[in-house]
Amino acid sequence: MKTLSHFSPSHTQSARPSPQLIQDMRLLQMTFPELTKFVADEVEKNPLLEFMSSESENDAETGFDSADDFAPTEDRESSAVAEVDSGWYEGSSSISAERLGEGLDTGFENVFPDDGPARRADAPELLSQWKSMPGGESGEDYDLDDFVAGQVTLRDHLNQQIPFLIVDAANRLIAQHLVDQLDEAGYMLGDIEEIAARLGRSAENVEAILHSLQTLDPPGVFARSLSECLAIQLREKDRLDPAMDALIRHLDLLGKRDFASLRKICGVDDEDLIDMLAEIRCLNPKPGAGFERGMSETISPDIVVRAAPDGSWMVELNPDTLPRVLVNHSYFQTVSKHCPKNGDVHNFLSECMQHANWLTRSLDQRAKTIMKVATEIVRQQDAFLMHGVDHLHPLTQKTVAEAIKMHESTVSRVTNKCMLTPRGMFELKYFFTVSIGSAEEGGDSHSAEAVRHRIRLLIAQETPETVLSDDDIVVSLKRGGVELARRTVAKYREAMNIPSSVQRRREKRADSRAVRF
C-alpha cells in the first residue's frame, strides 16, 4: 500500500498524490459491502477480469495454471472431449451410439421410469391443481419463491381495513393519501392544513377522516405525537380518564422522573401513580414498527482473532470479505493476436489489462495493510483479550503507525473494519482510546473506555439509599487509581445516556415502591 509518509511539508504544493494513489486510499477505506459493489462494477465493465470460482481455487491448489481456467469455452470443451477419445473427431460419422453412450456414462438403467403403470392419485381433487402449477407434470421449472408468503407491510394492513371503515369513494382517496404520509413507526408526518389545500377539501373534513383512521389496527397508528399515540391506545382500553390524560400531556416530567410534580398535576397519590405508570409501560410507542421494517444486515468481520494452543493469538483475515478476482491473460493474448497494433481494440484491451493488474495488486496490498494493523492492535491489547474491558490500554493511531512503519493516515483508513474476538465483535476504532492519568505517582495510565466501564459498574451497583453523585464517583475512581475531574465524569455519564443522581434516586425509589405494591 502506498502511503503519504514520503511527503514533507515543504513539498505539499509540488508532491501531489497521483490518481492511482488516491484510488488506493479509497479502496483501503471501503467497507466490505462497498468493496463488493466496487469490484462487481469493475468485473462487469472489464472483459479481462473474472471472479475466482471454486473450480479455479481447486485448480490453483493442484498446480494448474490459473490462466487455463479462462480459456475460451470452445477450447475447454474440445480439450475435454479429446481426452475421452481423440478418435471422435477423426471419424465422427462412423461413431456408434453404443460407443458414444459408453464414453459419456449413459448406460445406466432408468431407475425412475416415466412410462410405468398409472397410479391412482391419493388426492384426486388436487391432481388437476398440481398439473396446472409451474413444475407440475408439464416438466417446466418452478420457482420456490412463488410459494412463499410475502411480508405484510403496514400500508397493506391498513388498506385492507379502510374499505370497511370508509364507504365514500372521495373520502377513501383522502384516507389513502393519509396512509402515504405515515412513517415506519406509524406516525402521521403530513400537515393537515397543507393536505387539505392540496386535495381541495376543508381542514375539518381531513381532520375527521384522520380521527376515523386512528381507530384502525394497530392501536395508536396515525398519531401525530407520542402523547396522541398513547391517548389513542388508552381510549381504546377505556382508560383515558382525566388523571391519565394529564399524565400523558406531561411526558416531559415523566422523562425527568419528577414524580412529585406528576402527583400534584394528576391529583393522585403514590399508589395510583405507580399503577398509571405501569399502564403506560404496557403501551406501544411505535405501533407500526412490527409491520414495516428495514432489511436487517448481517455484519461480517474483516478479521478473526482466535486463541492459539501456545497461549498467543491467531489473527486471520476473513476469506468471505476478500473479493477474489483473476486476470484473464489467455483471453488478452488470443484477442491481441487478431487485432492491429495501436488500434482502438488493442488500446482498449491494454487499458483494461493495466487497470486489471492494478486492481489485483491493490486488493492484495489492502489485505496486507489490514492484517498488519490488526496484528499490531492485538499485540497492544493482549490484556483486553485475556481479561476484558477493564484492561483496555490507551492506544493511539500514531503508536500503531510507528510500530508497523506506515503513515498515520493509512491506519485511520482501516479503523472502520470489524474484528471478531473472543470478547465479541468490535470496530478497530474501538481499540483506540485516549489516556487518563493515574492517581498514583508512577502508576499506569488508563483507557477512557475502561474508565467509562468502571463508571457504569459503579452506577449499576447503586441502591435507592446509596445513589452516587458525580463527586462521589470521582472519589471512588480515585481510590481505584484513576484521576478524573468531576466535569469529565459528568461528560462520560451523559454520553452513556445515564441520568443525573437526582433523577436516578427518584427512579429507584419509585421502582422500589412498585415492588412493594
Cell numbers representing residue 300 in the block: 461480517
Residue 517 has pLDDT above 60, yes or no: no
pLDDT at 79 over 60: no
Average pLDDT, integer, range 158-178: 84
3-state secondary structure of 415: coil
- The residues, ordered by sequence, that sit 6+ positions from 257 with a Cβ below 8 Å of its Cβ are 499, 503, 504, 506, 507, 510
Q: Which domains does the chain have, with CATH numbers?
A: 155-282 (1.10.10.1330), 303-435 (no CATH), 436-514 (1.10.10)
DSSP single-letter state for residue 389 = G
Please enumerate, as own/partner, the contacts of 497-500 that have beta carbons within 8 Å and a separation of 24 or more.
Answer: 498/455, 498/456, 498/459, 499/257
Q: Which among 179, 234, 233, 240 has a CA at the least distance from the CA of 206?
A: 179
Residue identified by cell 485475556 is 386
Strand partners, 326: 50
Question: If residue 316 lies in a helix (H) or strand (E), which one and from where to where?
Answer: strand 313-317
Note if the pTM is more than 0.95.
Answer: no
Mean pLDDT of 379-395: 84
Q: In this predicted model, what pLDDT tens digit does every residue of 108-157 receive, in sequence order?
A: 444 444 444 444 444 444 444 444 444 444 444 545 555 545 567 888 88
Q: What percentage of the chain reaches a pLDDT higher than 90?
A: 17
Beta bridge partners of 317: 303
3-state secondary structure of 28: helix
d(CA 384, CA 402): 21
**How many whole angstroms separate alpha carbon 198 and alpha carbon 239?**
36
- Radius of gyration from C-alpha coordinates of the chain: 35
CA distance 390 to 480: 12
* β partners of residue 436: 446
Beta strands in 113-154, from DSSP E residues, in sequence order? none
Of 221, 243, 218, 245, nearest to 231 by C-alpha is 245
Confidence (pLDDT) at 437: 54
pLDDT digits 0-9 by tens, 422-444: 888 888 988 887 666 555 555 55
The mean pLDDT of 398-420, rounded to a whole number, is: 92
